Chains A and B, each alone.
Chain A
Amino acid sequence: MTDIYIPATSDTPEINFKFSSNTLSMSGEAYPENGVEFFRPILRQLQSHLTSLNGDAIEFNFQLTYFNSVSTKIFFSMFELLNEYAKAHPNCVLLNWHHDEDDDTILELGQDIQEDFTWIDFNAVVLA
């Protein structure tokens, strides 16, 4: 699987999915005109990469500072994929959830993800 690197724009995040080392990072802001169209190919590649793995450890760095409601829903499905992988391979997915100290929206979404996707090891990182 080829790594994915997409630089950030004003309304789309930087995507740095190093499938070769299983280090996946996203940062920036996400409010594209058509979120499904933007993220679908990325999620497809992630999904097919996951099926090729067999217990390899994955580290996901989620470092977005703003995302609209459509993107929120897409990220939720993305973590669902990672949770399924972690269910088959316990302790293999680490999610580093970066958020500003006073950003209760992203903090609460992190709490929801933690509650719903219990196979993922969740690590909250407070940005200084």
Chain B
Amino acid sequence: MLIDLFTVFREEADANGIVFYYSGILSQNVIITMSDSLKQKLQIQDEKGARSRKVFSTFIEMIQNALHYSPGAPDSDDTKEGSIIVGKKEDKYFIICANFIQKQHETRIREKIDPILEMSADEIRQAYRTQLKNDQHSDDTISKGAGLGFLTLARDSIEPIQYAIRDAIGYENELSCFYLKATI
């Protein structure tokens, strides 16, 4: 029975153009190994250099974002978890990453992404340049990164980035699930 279920899972993934899928524990070592695998897969698909590089860059920004900013998984000893999928549909790559966030950070994340969703490609490029030159990491004490991550994703995505924040089933009071999607 479980073999049947897994067969369906695999066949559906293939039929839907899934290039890569991972769900589980996140660490820098896991990320390095996944990077190798994804690079080889893109090479086999004979993807042109420019696009392949953008898929790879988007993958790294998203998965490192999940590693750095997600709280420890429920009932774990601060172990980070996340899921990421790379697929190709109608000749466009999509990358979707999912990870836990603390419920209390929901507003902060929305305030960071919502303005980017309203920007034109030129405005994204301008905001990116401004952020690159900005020595302070704004007034955001939580962000460990350069504040450039979401802007990098938005800059490389050929369609506006999308996100969703949903209840983490069983942990509704403390955690939510954050989904982020880009198209290359």
Measuring CB to CB, which residues of chain A are less than 8 angstroms from any residue of chain B? 10-11, 31-33, 66, 68-70, 72-74, 76-77, 100, 102-105, 112, 116
A79 to chain B, nearest CB (A): 11
* Chain B nearest CB, measured from A104 CB (Å): 6
Confirm or deny: B49 has a beta carbon within 8 angstroms of a beta carbon on chain A.
Answer: yes
CB distance from A99 to the nearest CB of B (A): 11
Asked if A10 and B36 make an inter-chain contact with CB atoms under 8 angstroms apart, the answer reads: yes
CB within 8 A of B146: which of A73, A100, A103? A73
Is the CB of B149 closer than 8 A to any CB of chain A? yes
Tell me if B's interface is mostly helix, strand, loop or mixed. helix
Contact assessment for B129 and A70 in the assembled complex, using a CB-CB cutoff below 8 Å: no
Would you call B81 an interface residue if the criterion is a C-beta within 8 Å of the partner chain's C-beta atoms? no
Bound Cα distance A24, B151 (Å): 30
The smallest C-beta distance from B80 to any residue of chain A, in angstroms, reads: 11
The reply to whether A69 and B32 contact each other, CB–CB distance below 8 Å, is: no
The number of residues on chain B lying at the interface, defined by a beta carbon within 8 Å of a beta carbon of chain A, is: 27
Write out, one digit per residue, whether chain B residues 30-71 have a CB within 8 A of any chain A CB (1) or not (0): 011001100000000000111001101100110010010000
Q: Which residues of the other chain, B, contact A76 by a CB distance below 8 angstroms?
A: 132-133
Task: List, in ascending order, chain A residues with CB within 8 A of B35's CB.
Answer: 10-11, 31
Q: Which of B32, B60, B132 has the most CB of A within 10 A?
A: B132
Q: Which of B32, B50, B54, B156 contacts A11 (CB 8 A)?
A: B32
Nearest residue (CB) in B for A10 is B32
Cross-interface CB contact of A69 among B28, B48, B152, cutoff 8 Å = B152
Residues of A contacting B148 in the complex (Cβ-Cβ under 8 angstroms): 69-70, 72-73
Complex A-B: 14 CB contacts under 8 Å:
A10-B32, A31-B64, A66-B53, A66-B57, A66-B60, A69-B148, A69-B152, A70-B145, A70-B146, A72-B152, A73-B132, A76-B133, A103-B49, A105-B57
